[in-house]
A and B are shown apart, each in its own frame.
Chain A
Amino acid sequence: MFSFLVKRLLQSVVVLVAVALIAFSLFKFVGDPINNMVGQDTTLEEREALRESLGLNDPFHQQFYNFMVNAAVGDFGISYRHKVPVSDLIAERAPATLELSIISALLSIFIGIPMGVYTAINRSGFLSRSFMTVSLVGISLPTFLIGILFIFFFGVILRWLPTFGRGEVVALGWWTTGLLTWSGIKSLILPSITLALFQMTLIMRLVRTEMLEVLCTDYIKFARARGLHERAVNFGHALKNTLIPVITIIGLQLGLVMAFAIITETVFQWPGMGMLFIQAIEEVDVPVMAAYLMMISLIFVAINLLVDILYAFVDPRLTIDGGSKHG
């Protein structure tokens, strides 16, 4: 266990450095941040002085080294645009994104898995067939289109739900939440469903396929031959075995939900990190972009590690060191 953790943490650091390096070299091509920061009447000398003070004239490796050293202690510099520390900006925006993506993830897990199980058990029922057909829509329509359709139906035609922003939020220390006010909850409905739809259908189809496979195995047949009730067979034996491969996918999808939030946040004008990132790209706000990318990759790496550890707990056949426990 110990050597596994050490190995994985070292790998994680390598991944993060690689992401930083790739991101950092890409930023050279997004444009000149100085142009966006100054007015038209700034002289060349003043621009040069600003460039020098921001460290943009240093050689690439020097810039990268400075960035890494500061990032290691959580200091991502000051946003060129907002003139405040990037960490403050992210801390301010993070609750919105986290709330949205966690609600979406919960929706997709707690609706997707039961639907998958249901369609696997009642394979030819009318309801299962309808689920399968509808899920095709969820898997094939792009997120922004679904978002816009939702806005059109529920916001514009029916006027039931708000179409942009978070509504009223309540501050709990540095965290702001929309879950405690009625308008906050109403604002959350459309974006979270939009974001969840793809993952939900994916999880449903995955669970269905895995479950159908598990239902054909010998141990399910043997459980039936022992006269166990259908319920005990399906939920006591089949479901747990189904979920083992599903855990990996759900873990990876959780990271994707946060990354995909960019599109949903843009469509619904959701004041989260995705919006911050899109604006940062438009304005060549390098420190914000770098910090955002680093954070997303950190989340991915952390989730992957968690999934691996979780695996060893769910599946008794695996020990984390790669050998097998033998009694």
Chain B
Amino acid sequence: MHLLETKNISIGFPSRHGMFVAVKDVSINVSKGEILGVVGESGAGKSTIGNAIISLLEPPGKVIEGEVWFNGDRIDNLSSEEKRRLRGRKIGMIFQDPQTSLDPLKTIKQQLVETIDLHLRLGRKGSEQRAIELLEQVGIPDPELRINHYPHQFSGGMRQRVVIALALSGEPELIIADEPTTALDVSVQKQILDLMRKLCIEKNVGMILVTHDMGVIAEVTDRVAVMYNSKLMELGDTKQILGNPQHEYTKSLISAIPRPDKRIERFPLVTYIEDVVESTDAFNISEHWLGQSRDFSMQTANDGTILEVKDLCMRFQTTNSLFKSKRKFLDAVKDVNFSIKEGETFGIVGESGSGKSTIARMVTGLYKPHSGSVNFLGKEISSINHTPEVLPYRRQMQMVFQDPFSSLNSRMKVMDIVAEPIIFHKLASSKDEVRQIVLDLLKLVGMSDDAHIKYPHQFSGGQRQRISIARALATRPRFLICDEPTSALDVSVQAQILNLLKDLQQELNLTMLFISHDLPVIRQMCDTVAVMQHGQMLELSQTEQLFENPQHEYSKHLLGLMPKLNMLS
């Protein structure tokens, strides 16, 4: 008998325009001590299944067909009070973002004791004892001391451990983990996954692990269910699905995963995904406005160096005080040196807080460096920030941001968004010309013909990132800074965007500063890589050399944390 089984369930959200079916006819099952992965891209319905099992669907969502069985009992038709009793006690849940899943105003002791006492009736003292044991089990050092702290006093990884401790506090038999490591750094991700694996075996708990990350799937799951467009595509052993996928969708999904083990020229086109217009046929870039009217009057150095950064430092004040000696600072970037040659893609890799985005912001002039210099096309641009004399240099340098949802002004039409830099830098002589340029740009990045009259919210994440790229290209820059351009995107969309960036770079001879926490992506994109930790640049070498033969201990450590995808065909 399975611990949990869904029999042909469909989940729907009634609305004014009829029923929106988020999950169609899905049958999965988990046994004790087993980890079942549910993988799929955003909107595939994978989280909805998890929420339906624990009956926490956002109203008005409901199971419209099929049955859910738990331990031999049907649970989808229970009363809401009976369902509440299952939650926490029989079925636990772990959410994606540890930053937001704990009540910020209560100590973790209050939250743990409340839950333990509710389920196990141990009383105050007993619950407290149990809470400390749990914290110890999930690997929190000094549990007696830490238990009195508030959630904000823990780091992301520690907080996710607290969340796991809370999910375990009712001693459930099944745990549903919804993207439990997506918000975490790769080294923390590894620890959390190991912990979950260990708990599953020790406590003989079944687990449903919902994720979009094939690396996570490969690392810990026993079996995988692949979901696409509300439907179950394929269900089988992890080895079989990754190594020998049967379904067309699974094949194309796996082909889109950046390989950590070798560099490929382009990602094979992800044919199964709809919202892309591959229109490379349209125009010859070298004869076009974009290719022709670029401004090469500013010369690179003799050896082709376009950007040179020397002894760059940035510090942020963390504690304010009337007295100078009592003020505390955080050195976000310490004495960083590097130079980039024209046409090269320079990668910066590191975990969150390592200072990689801060460098990008100093190079673009969003932050003023504490000390050090940024030399771009022979001009020192960090100190003279917003003067007219620096504008032509800034024009040559554009940025694509991480979050495609907040980096476009939602009150402007796409036409105005892309036209703004052209108008600001006075790059076109008439309105008609601006319009024509914008239309061409949108076509170049693979947007459909009517895109310019729409607003950003009418597009998906990947499409918005294309608009961001079009906007960055609008000033005809020679230097493009991409700050985690794909980390908010699904893997198939990521493959498309990375392909697009590669194509543009070749056609326009762009220089790129490419920032990412994702080593496989770095390997696919960059010529040279810098590894950063705590604001310092630890290693700087050719990409292939770094991956084949890392020098610094931390680089070796990071590379060791990469999920092994050697099951891939």
Contact = CB atoms under 8 A, between A and B. Distances in A.
Interface of A: 3, 6, 217-219, 221-230, 232, 236-237, 240-241, 244, 314-317, 321-327
A324 B88 contact: no
Interface in B139-185: 146, 149-150, 152-153, 163, 166-167, 169-170
Contacts of B100: 217-219
A327 B86 contact: no
A258 B149 CA distance: 40
A227 B84 CA distance: 5
Contact of B170 (A224, A226, A229): A226
Contacts of B1: none
Interface in B94-151: 95-97, 100-106, 114-115, 118-119, 146, 149-150
A227 B170 contact: yes
Contacts of B97: 218
A228 B105 contact: no
Contacts of A315: 104-105
A226 B166 contact: yes
A223 B103 contact: yes
A219 B322 CA distance: 37
A6 B114 contact: no
B92 A225 contact: yes
B85 interface: yes
A209 B319 CA distance: 34
- The 8 A-B pairs of least Cβ separation, nearest first, read A227-B88, A227-B87, A225-B93, A226-B88, A218-B100, A327-B153, A323-B319, A316-B150
Greatest chain B CB density within 10 A among A219, A224, A226 is at A226
Contacts of B320: 3, 321-323
A213 to B, nearest CB: 13
A229 B93 CA distance: 16
Greatest chain B CB density within 10 A among A3, A217, A223 is at A223
A3 B106 CA distance: 28
Greatest chain B CB density within 10 A among A6, A217, A315, A316 is at A316
B343 to A, nearest CB: 43
Contact of A222 (B95, B118, B152, B153): B95
B502 to A, nearest CB: 37
Contacts of B87: 224-227
26 contacts: A217-B100, A218-B96, A218-B100, A219-B103, A221-B95, A221-B101, A222-B93, A224-B84, A225-B56, A225-B92, A225-B167, A226-B87, A226-B88, A226-B93, A226-B115, A226-B169, A227-B86, A227-B88, A228-B115, A229-B84, A236-B114, A241-B105, A316-B105, A317-B104, A322-B320, A327-B146
Nearest to B98: A218
Nearest to A221: B56
B106 A237 contact: yes
A219 B84 contact: no
A227 B85 contact: yes
Given A222-B166, A323-B319, A227 B119 contact: yes
Contact of B54 (A225, A241, A317, A321): A225
Contact of B321 (A3, A225, A317, A327): A3
Contacts of A229: 84, 118
B318 interface: yes
Nearest to A244: B105
B319 A224 contact: no
Contacts of A219: 100-104
Interface string B449-474: 00000000000000000000000000
Contact of B153 (A6, A322, A326): A326
A195 B169 CA distance: 49
B94 to A, nearest CB: 9
A224 B149 CA distance: 22
Contacts of B167: 225-226
A161 B428 CA distance: 75
B386 to A, nearest CB: 27
B523 interface: no
A236 B111 CA distance: 10
B89 interface: yes
A156 B106 CA distance: 53
A37 to B, nearest CB: 50
A103 B169 CA distance: 46
A222 B102 CA distance: 8
Contacts of B321: 3, 321
A126 B105 CA distance: 32
A4 to B, nearest CB: 9
A223 B88 CA distance: 9
A221 B47 CA distance: 14
Contact of B118 (A224, A225, A227): A227
A6 B170 contact: no
Given A225-B92, A226-B87, A237-B106, A325 B118 contact: no
Contacts of A321: 319-321
A315 B105 CA distance: 6
Given A221-B56, A221-B95, A222-B163, A227 B89 contact: yes
A240 B111 CA distance: 14
Contacts of A314: 105
Given A219-B100, A325-B153, 5 more contacts: A222-B163, A222-B166, A224-B87, A227-B115, A232-B114
Nearest to A318: B152
B86 A237 contact: no
B236 to A, nearest CB: 29
A298 to B, nearest CB: 25
A71 B93 CA distance: 63
B103 A224 contact: no
Interface in B203-250: none
B319 A228 contact: no
Nearest to A321: B320
B318 A323 contact: yes
Nearest to B323: A3
A229 B83 CA distance: 11
A219 B95 CA distance: 9
Nearest to A6: B322
Nearest to A323: B319
Contacts of A241: 103-105
A244 to B, nearest CB: 8
A139 B465 CA distance: 44
Contacts of A230: 84
Contacts of B89: 227
A175 B448 CA distance: 76
Nearest to B100: A218
Nearest to B84: A227
A316 B114 contact: no
A237 B103 contact: yes
A26 to B, nearest CB: 36
Nearest to A227: B88
B87 to A, nearest CB: 4
A271 B321 CA distance: 48
Contacts of B319: 321-323
Nearest to A325: B153
Contacts of B322: 3, 6
A224 B146 contact: no
Contacts of A232: 114, 118
A69 B312 CA distance: 53
Contacts of B169: 226
Nearest to A315: B105
Given A6-B322, A321-B319, A323-B319, A222 B150 contact: no
Contacts of A3: 320-322
B104 A316 contact: yes
A174 B104 CA distance: 46
Given A317-B150, A325-B153, A327-B146, A226 B84 contact: no
A58 to B, nearest CB: 39
B115 A316 contact: no
B105 A240 contact: yes
Contacts of B93: 222, 225-226
A170 B166 CA distance: 58
